[in-house]
Amino acid sequence: AAFDTVIRNGTVATASDTFKADVAIRQGRIAAIGEAITDADEIVDASGLLVLPGGIDSHVHISQPSGPGIVMADDFESATRAAAFGGNTFVMPYCLQEKGQPLRAALKDYHALAEQACYVDHSFHLIIADPSDSVLGQELPALVADGYSSLKIFMTYQDLALSDYEILGVLQVARETGALVQIHAENYDAIRFLTDRLERAGKIAPYYHGKSRPIAVEREATHRAISLAELIDVPIVIVHVSNREAMEEIRRAQTRGLKIHGETCPQYLVLTEEDMQGLNMEGAKYVCSPPPRDKASQEACWEGLQQGVFSLFSSDHCPFRYDDEAGKLTPKGRTSFRWVPNGIPGVETRLPILFSEGVGKGRISLNQFVAFTATNHAKTYGLKGKGSIAIGYDADIALWDPNKTAKISQSGLHHGSDYTPYEGIEITGWPVATMLRGKFVVRDGQLVGAKGSGRYVTRGKPGAVA
């Protein structure tokens, strides 16, 4: 036959168009898009389904050390399995540099963990914890040239927070090498001060996590990060934006012509700080940074998506178990919110939440959905030949039933956490199959892909989002 597989009678959606077409696949790539294509070894009927580029999640944490006694709930196998069930074909986890560690040594560890373990393709962002002279002068430029073209740096967290001087040094290297820097924008000293004061007042429940890092903490750091990027004249990504004030800082910079990308996440659309209230430690299930805010902040994040201030919608999947001292319940004696590991699982529920709440409720178009969940991630981070339904592109495809209703529940998910912060949310629209380079990974609710079929992919220079 002319083709290996043809997906027939579906409705294809890209970041720009929606149209009825058959999609033919040869040797893992999209080889033809047309009418009435039948000459294929396998014919997949997609009547009534959307044919979408597989989701690309450019912000996930997998197997990352998270403090003494704390263990992440997902390894590369379980995280990428959950990703595939959620309609994703690519994830970009982090490679965390420990202080004093050469970057290549860190990468070797993460590659070893990912090798032969993944159900979807992957690449790594480098977290720069120690921007020493040799890291900035030699290691980083060599790695960017090798396809590790994106970094994350932090303005908060002990052991990770960089000074403004250090941030400028990293941004300078990014400018010289063409790398793209993600910035976690929260003011470290402000959080430390507020945390100490809350603890002295006996306010140690998970709920006070939100009070230890209010909106001003994020808005100030966002403004400062943008200012530092402006000084160096280099693009950056402000990740996980939670509220209007930070969103407006990004909008203002964009209006002034600065290349500031904005990212938001499901937790800022559907959770609030009230979720961190709850009996005993229950609130810990929602502890992440920045924290979920309020209804008005949710509206602001929707506005950021609708108006293009945000171009990226990622999960910030950072899974811990709840009922576990290596997770949210924290090692014995550590009773304050200070010790609750930050982060929540979400790699499997990102697409259904945005589809149902966004496309289903008329807040964004189907084409915006595709852009926010796949196309823009590929363009922003220099991932070639993925993120769209186009001839020559990898056949990374999610078959999506726009009418399938489901209630999010832990029992139906495939991650390593023992809970989902999105429990009970009613969803319309769910992926029914996920195909990686022309081969089904998930089909009819069953895992059919082989562990290890997900590959490491080198990325090129980050580009602009059209």
Contact residues toward Zn ion (CB under 5 A) are 111, 114-115, 184, 316, 456
Report, in Å, the least distance between residue 239 CB and Zn ion. 6
Number of residues that bind ligand URP (CB under 6 A): 9
Considering only residues 290 to 319 of the shown chain, the ones binding ligand URP according to CB under 6 A are 316, 318
Give DSSP secondary structure letters for 53-82.
Answer: EPEEEEEE--S---STT---S--HHHHHHH
Considering only residues 219 to 248 of the shown chain, the ones binding ligand URP according to CB under 6 A are 240
Q: Of the two residues 381 and 430, which places its CB atom closer to Zn ion in the complex?
A: 381
- Residue 394 DSSP code: B
Binding marks (x or -) toward ligand URP, 56..75, rule CB under 6 A?
-----x--------------
Report, in Å, the least distance between residue 325 CB and ligand URP. 19
Of 288, 301, 364, 366, the one binding ligand URP (CB under 6 A) is 288
From Zn ion, ligand URP, none, which one binds at residue 114 (CB under 5 to 8 Å depending on kind)? Zn ion
Cα–Cα distance measured from residue 335 to residue 213, given in angstroms and rounded to the nearest whole number: 18
Pick from 459, 415, 429: which is nearest to 72 by CA? 415
From Zn ion, ligand URP, none, which one binds at residue 288 (CB under 5 to 8 Å depending on kind)? ligand URP
Q: Does 285 bind ligand URP (CB under 6 A)?
A: no
Q: Does 459 bind ligand URP (CB under 6 A)?
A: no
Report, in Å, the least distance between residue 76 CB and Zn ion. 9
From Zn ion, ligand URP, none, which one binds at residue 342 (CB under 5 to 8 Å depending on kind)? ligand URP
Of 86, 343, 352, 462, the one binding ligand URP (CB under 6 A) is 343
Q: Which residues of 88-127 are buried (b: 16+ CB within 10 A; e: fewer)?
A: bbbbbbbbbbeeeebbeebbeebeebbeebbbbbbbbbbb
395 token code pair:
């056949």
Give DSSP secondary structure letters for 157-224.
Answer: STTTBPPHHHHHHHHHHHHHHT-EEEEE---HHHHHHHHHHHHHTT--STTHHHHTS-HHHHHHHHHH
- Residue 274 DSSP code: G
Of 8, 26, 184, 415, the one binding ligand URP (CB under 6 A) is 184
Cα–Cα distance measured from residue 386 to residue 441, given in angstroms and rounded to the nearest whole number: 17
Whether the bond between 235 and the residue before it is cis, its omega within 30 degrees of 0, is: no
Residues in contact with ligand URP by CB under 6 A are 61, 184, 240, 288-289, 316, 318, 342-343
